[in-house]
Amino acid sequence: MTHNLKRTFAMLLLAIFGSAILYNCEPDPDSLGEQLFNDDAAQGNEIAYPVIAYNYDNKDSIRSDASRLISGVSEAGAASYVGVLGAFTEGEFGMQRASYVTQLRMPVDNYDFNGDNPKVDSVVLVVRPPANTTSNTYFFESDSLKTNTFEKSDFPVDGVATAVSIERKTYPVRKYGKIGGGSKSMKINVHEVTTFLDANDDKYKRSNAGTSISTGELLGSGVFDGNINSLSITKKSDNSVVFTGNLGFRMKLSNTNFFQTHILDKKGKPELQDAANFIRYFKGIKISVDETDKYLYQFSPNDLQLIMYYKYDKTDNGTTTRPQTNLVFNLGGSNAHIGLYEYSRTNSSVEKALAAINSSEGDERLFVQGMGGPSVVMKIKDETIADLKKIYVEKKAGILSAKIRVYVDPLSWKNTNSTEDRKFTLLNNTLNSNGTIDFSKLTYTSDLSTGLGLYNYNKDKDYYDIIVTKTIKDLVEDAKDSDGNFIKNKPLIISAGTFAANATGTLLGVRNTTRAFDMNRVILTGIDKNNTNPKRIQLMVTYATKK
């Protein structure tokens, strides 16, 4: 493609390349793009190069403890967290099931239960969604809201049957998987954890720690129908609010005897004396699903509530009554918690692909999946850099843009909610001698660091352009890093998820991504050994020379 770029290139250089120029402290007169400011005219060319791209097996494991479930940080400095529950199966990636394990603590040490003879009435687990943001939708609001109002004449208020009005608002959660027909309901189980969750032990920091964590009694089960609700209960007599239930899924735990014998009957005992004793006595709970072929959905781990309602003896002026109160266990950030993920890849496409990885030439289909699933390694060939250097020297060429174009595989498993949420991280990396990722040497790409971004998505043609303009520029120009060493041609790692950031958009670090709870997966079109597939992965370089 050759044409006159008198105006277009000037605009592109300012919008796309300008920020990179600011980082060149000692600009060379022959720097890429410099000559485009001279003579007011240029000829533009686009050239395509092959890219080595192959699957990387993360062994279905990822760090998924509290430090890796952070989705962002608010203006006040509070971290927001995301967990995943559910399961589903499809032929490309196989079966994936997500559970969650957390410690819990008493609200205060040596709790006295307000009085003598405390007895359990009921226990409720509340699973709440994260708050929706401009970039993430966890539940659907106004367009999907359903409101149901009804009355009860015998609702217990302080032990007295009372006429009340109940308003229930219902919102569907965002689901990933089989979302239609009879697939919306899942059975959720809550079990006692019988293994001490030592937050300092590395084996309790990874998503495949489920094999090391045992469970005891079933505390209760409930059917989740794919919706979350908010409740408001008011007295008919004076419209005073009796109960407010914030948005979430409320599940009544039937095993009240467990809480009576393990909590209430331990009043004044060493088990409840302090948090250190308690988390070794009541070691935690596990939330899981029975099914293997429904859907995944996301929840807010730090907003989980386990509420125990109970009555106790209260004596005033010689009269004993038994009022009801509640104890809310602390399931928040001070506790160890882990996202647990199970996979069955048998006879799936990804199983076959990961068994035949070709790191020398590349793979024809590239599998990317969050929550410990595979990533993709991309390598720009040294021969490509050598060819671009030749063009740079001999033709005085200036690179306007460089991007790795990768198409979504036409047979990729699709979901009506997946495209808007599909996100990727891209990092420079050094591979060890055995081809494994050296996590101590992950770095942002120079393009991201200088504000050029990560990628653009063409929805109509279903491809991604991964931005590597400055990455290529640095290699072709023999740029040096902050230590004075020539920048090397390092592999690029593309994974599911996005970079976590604070309220101002500042990224929290190369290892702070949402990959540990990103539900998405996609198959991308990789290499074509015959170079005949027009949708094969390629490096697209646009450069200009003097007219």
Give the pLDDT of residue 56. Answer: 97
How many whole angstroms from its chain centre is CA 487?
31
Give the pLDDT of residue 182. Answer: 62
Structure tokens at 535: 């949708």
Give the pLDDT of residue 463. Answer: 95
Any residues with CB less than 8 A from the CB of 464 and at least 6 apart, and which?
405, 406, 407, 408, 424, 455, 456, 457, 458, 524
The CA distances from residue 140 to 181, 246, 257, 514, in Å, are 18, 16, 37, 21
Answer for the pair 369, 496: CB distance below 8 angstroms, yes or no: yes
**Residue 143, helix vs strand vs coil:** helix
How many other C-beta atoms lie within 10 A of the C-beta of residue 291? 18
Give the pLDDT of residue 155. Answer: 75
Give the pLDDT of residue 144. Answer: 64
How many other C-beta atoms lie within 10 A of the C-beta of residue 202? 10
The CA distances from residue 177 to 85, 294, 344, 418, in Å, are 12, 6, 16, 9
Structure tokens at 1: 């493609």
The CA distances from residue 210 to 98, 292, 374, in Å, are 10, 16, 20
Alpha-carbon distance 464 to 366, whole Å?
13
Give the pLDDT of residue 413. Answer: 67
Q: What dihedral angle (degrees, nearest 10) is formed by the CA atoms of 528, 531, 537, 540? A: 170
Per-10-residue mean pLDDT, the chain, length 547: 36 36 34 46 80 97 94 89 95 96 95 93 96 88 72 74 84 87 85 96 94 96 94 80 84 98 96 96 97 94 96 88 92 92 96 97 97 97 95 89 95 61 89 86 91 93 96 91 88 95 91 95 94 94 84
Tokens 């996979």 map to which residue?
Answer: 343
Tens of pLDDT, residue by residue over 244-298, are 778 999 999 999 999 999 999 999 999 999 999 999 999 999 999 999 999 999 9
Give me the residues paired with residue 321 across strands.
314
Give the pLDDT of residue 98. Answer: 98
Give the pLDDT of residue 28. Answer: 38
Answer for the pair 338, 205: CB distance below 8 angstroms, yes or no: yes
Tell me what the pLDDT averaged over the chain comes to: 87
CA-nearest of 354, 321, 456 to 402 is 456
Answer for the pair 289, 86: CB distance below 8 angstroms, yes or no: yes
Alpha-carbon distance 166 to 58, whole Å?
49
Any residues with CB less than 8 A from the CB of 202 and at least 6 apart, and which?
none
Any residues with CB less than 8 A from the CB of 178 and at least 6 apart, and which?
88, 293, 294, 295
